[in-house]
Structure 1
């Protein structure tokens, strides 16, 4: 018995472990896409959409040793997460095509700290990345900022105007594959008007306490933007308005050197059309449902006048004195 165990250790191949974990995650992703329905998750007084892993959050915010010099993209759902992840991917790996393609092949849940199994973190040291990036939608009060400081890592907080975010969330949420049609109608609302009413009332399980929604997430994270040099705010609309300028700002924050050719290449690779082309579940870690139109001001075609005015009213009440503003049109 002892001899077999010793032989097993001698024949241990980390590449097999990496392959096994990634295959397991891919299969889990396909199972999530089957539409069988999963339960709403609860953690520390907050409600989360099906698929949220309490185990992963406890682990990553607790005993996990965050890899040195990592990049964490933090955001609320549908505020530019996939876009910013692709920008960071290009910044870190674009000069090595093999590494870039390897990163693209990894399932989306691998990067999101709160999805999947904590076993996925065991393979991180065996992946061909000299620098890792992850993403999260958790609120600032759940995030362990000490880990960022101790590991000399960086956090990018992406935010978007709440009207476009609400519309994008509506189109995304009703395509979530791991919820049944009945679940979606009950939890999210059966049509746009019901969806909107439940959402701004803080009744959607988006990782916040009951009664809270998107602006509460922004307020919590922006407090750390003000006081933490390791957290960079990135406005979605600013990226749309002047992509080269914002990419250079992100690169400087991450201490990545860029030349004009690099910026031009990134501008081509990070368009909505280019990302949609790459975004297939068997070819890329991004799913097609993560990328829609990427417009600014599309909310005008969805929100009624009263709905738009309600958001204006709520945002004004919540953000008074917070030095936070949003861009609704370009």
Structure 2
């Protein structure tokens, strides 16, 4: 399983390298947004601009902690099925196809040259907002699955994540984290601005938006809709297999194999409404106000069902 070794190796090296940095050295700013210095670099961002997307690329876009690892599992299994392989079997992971770290913007600047030689369909994930992505993604109509999650759970999950990994600054208290998160002082920028940027693209036919909450509520229907969007036919049996393999319990159990020491941090609770254990009433109101200002009433804003998931 060469590919997984590459993935785990890269993550382990990043975590080790981060340990030697002082807290205020962990992030750097690029075009107004903060990123983890160990994983990202201005050179790679520059090289990414010339990346040539293909029409049959399978792309997952999502802000960190909105469920991208979970949906990656589903998409990898669907790609295996489209290639007539059985998800989870040794043969389903073709080392050649997954040699590259799946996050489009993480790696070295020669990465895109290597990716141009990979067979289709190529799978990639991105945490970037559309303005920071290569133009070719939109010009060539590559299909993008946009994953969004209610902002209060994103913040909560991000807080635990930042205290679990060394690549981003950790926080003594939830209150400190919340202040930074709302003031755009955390890596990857403001989540509500991210949503508002993506909202401009929400009507394009090559973009499908799905929420973390709807996948949680009805995994089978969600997998079916995703497969249809990417044009992958599924039998009932294959559908059940993908749903089973992407359950939180199953992914947590295999996380050592799939994500190395990082697995414990990534798969914490996988639930909905954990924010109620953290947010004070005042913080809740602050987030409600920011949501109103940025995204309420838009297509993505409505899709998030804010009142259902974010009102106590």
When normalised by structure 2's length, the TM-score is: 0.83
Given the alignment, which residue of 142, 159, 164 partners 1:170? 159
SS of corresponding position for 1:110: coil
1:87 corresponds in structure 2 to 74
1:7 corresponds in structure 2 to none
Larger radius of gyration: 1
1:9 corresponds in structure 2 to none
SS of corresponding position for 1:118: coil
TM-aligned CA distance change 1:27 to 1:285, over 3 Å: closer
Shift of 1:320: 4.0
Shift of 1:230: 0.8
1:190 corresponds in structure 2 to 172
- Superimposed CA distance per residue, residues 281-318 of structure 1 (whole angstroms, 9 cap, x where no aligned partner): xx325740222211011111121222222211221122
Question: What RMSD over aligned residues (CA atoms) do the two structures have, in Å?
Answer: 2.8
TM-aligned CA distance change 1:217 to 1:164, over 3 Å: same
**Unpaired runs of 5+ in structure 1?**
1-18
SS of corresponding position for 2:185: coil
SS of corresponding position for 1:115: coil
Matched, 1:284 2:258: yes
When normalised by structure 1's length, the TM-score is: 0.79
1:77 corresponds in structure 2 to 64
- In structure 1, distance between residues paired with 2:185 and 2:273: 25
- In structure 1, distance between residues paired with 2:149 and 2:247: 17
TM-aligned CA distance change 1:217 to 1:103, over 3 Å: farther
Matched, 1:159 2:148: yes
Shift of 1:254: 0.3
- In structure 2, distance between residues paired with 1:229 and 1:156: 11
Matched, 1:202 2:192: no
Shift of 1:194: 0.8
1:144 corresponds in structure 2 to 134
Shift of 1:219: 0.9
SS of corresponding position for 1:299: helix
Matched, 1:45 2:32: yes
1:223 corresponds in structure 2 to 200
- In structure 1, distance between residues paired with 2:131 and 2:116: 28
CA contact (8 A) 1:106 1:284 kept: no
Given the alignment, which residue of 43, 48, 51 partners 1:55? 43
Shift of 1:55: 2.3
Between the two proteins, the alignment pairs up a number of residues equal to 292
